[in-house]
Amino acid sequence: MSAPYDDNNIFAKVLRGEIPCKKVYEDDHTLAFEDIHPQAPVHTLVIPKGKYVSLRDFAATGSDAELAAFVRAIGKVAALKELEGQGFRIIANTGVDGGQEVPHLHVHVFGGRRLGRMLAQN
């Protein structure tokens, strides 16, 4: 399991409405919003509303409804951003080796240009 959930992480503040976001999609279990420092023409973040640090604890303890909503939300973002034709990439940085900076599970949805090789060469 991951470290205990930190209620002061930036995405917890977004979920509480303490920090604004550019919302792309929302349902009962999931919120999607624009990344504040986009690295591609489309760079949207998809997060569960529940308190999950990473994919590890979401997969282990999230409800089936939450898991289904999360995956469907990723698909909805791809459709809303019209990425289905040309394609896109999703990334869930996890833990230290994964380079995760915000300790609330999030999937990055990238698209709108050729994204190159899968990993940076460093």
Choices 53-61, 64-72, 97-105, 110-118; region in contact with ligand AMP by CB under 6 A: 97-105
Query: Whole-angstrom Cα distance, residue 72 to residue 80?
Result: 12
Residue ranges of alpha helices (H) inside 24-116 are 55-61, 64-80, 95-98
Binding residue for ligand AMP (CB under 6 A) from 5, 76, 102, 112?
102
Q: Judged by CB, which is closer to ligand AMP: 35, or 57?
A: 35
Binding mask 10-29 for ligand AMP (x = CB under 6 A): x--------x-x--------
Binding residue for ligand AMP (CB under 6 A) from 18, 99, 113, 115?
99
Q: Judged by CB, which is closer to ligand AMP: 47, or 83?
A: 47
- The CB-of-89 to ligand AMP minimum distance in angstroms stands at 13
Q: Judged by CB, which is closer to ligand AMP: 30, or 100?
A: 100
Residue 44's contacts (CB-CB under 8 Å, 6 or more residues apart) are: 24, 32, 33, 34, 35, 77, 81, 108, 109
Q: What is the DSSP letter of 41?
A: S
Query: Whole-angstrom Cα distance, residue 72 to residue 78?
Result: 10
User: Are the beta carbons of 111 and 87 closer than 8 angstroms?
Assistant: yes
Binding mask 26-65 for ligand AMP (x = CB under 6 A): ---------xxx-------x--------------------
User: Are the beta carbons of 88 and 38 closer than 8 angstroms?
Assistant: no
